[in-house]
Amino acid sequence: MSRLGKFYGVGVGPGDPELMTTKALNVLKSVDVICAPKSKKDKESIALSIVKEALNRDFEVISPVFPMTKDIDAIEEYWDRAAEMISSELEKGRSVAFVTIGDPMFYSTYVYVLERMNERIPDLKIETIPGVNSISACLAELNIPLAGRDERMAILPAAYGLEELDSLSKTLDIVVLMKVSRSFDEIVKRLDELSLKDDAIFVSGCGTKAFFSSDIGSMLGKKIDYLSMIIIRGRKK
């Protein structure tokens, strides 16, 4: 019998602790250690604050730092270090839950940690618990439908380029731009150039207190929340 602990990836949903699943809650109550990465040493992880509110009791936490950067080489060593921290707990026979806001398989760093854990410990028992993603949460709170049954959709992480936006907005029904906070002014400029500004809505605060605006231009120069997105109605509108 292996004395290795079990590794969990747990989606804690978009922000409201009530939007966690029963399964996620049960796993978080049962594990020995919760791993919650943070972007800076002195800044608490959003996922961890959701867990704290939901569990309402003390628990052991490890918090690797994942700096916000687009430089893949620089960040890979942070992911490696996180995998090392997690492995060291698992090897003591302790179970570890890596928590992510939203859903673990959907634009989350869990994807990179999972890859590393599979490489480090080939026979590791891994269980991933899906969560409600931020797109679903935002649109639910605002009662805005996303996709009807025949609609074609694209999702672009805007921080990594908008080359495809022009053609996608012409051929598909919906284009969602994720992670728009870091280059918001540039994105608005591009939407303007492509005559898409009037077909776009801005949403933020998903899972906590949702906010939306159909006047994207009015958001210029404002502080844009990290979990904001822009939804563009394409061709069919």
Site for its own copies, rule CB under 8 A: 9, 11, 13-14, 16-23, 25-26, 70, 103-112, 114-115, 126, 128-133, 136-137, 139-141, 143-157, 159-160, 164, 167-168, 171-172, 179
Q: How far is the CB of 223 from its own copies (least distance, A)?
A: 22
Amino acid at 78: Y
| Cβ neighbours, 10 Å, residue 160 | 11
Longest dimension (CA), the chain: 62
Amino acid at 193: E
Residue whose CB is less far from its own copies, 48 or 203? 203
Q: How far is the CB of 114 from its own copies (least distance, A)?
A: 6
Residue whose CB is less far from its own copies, 20 or 216? 20
| Cβ neighbours, 10 Å, residue 205 | 18
Residue whose CB is less far from its own copies, 41 or 70? 70
**What residues form DSSP beta bridges with 210?**
none
Amino acid at 43: K
Task: Identify whether the C-beta of residue 10 lies closer than 8 Å to the C-beta of residue 131.
Answer: yes
Residue whose CB is less far from its own copies, 171 or 218? 171
| Cβ neighbours, 10 Å, residue 198 | 14
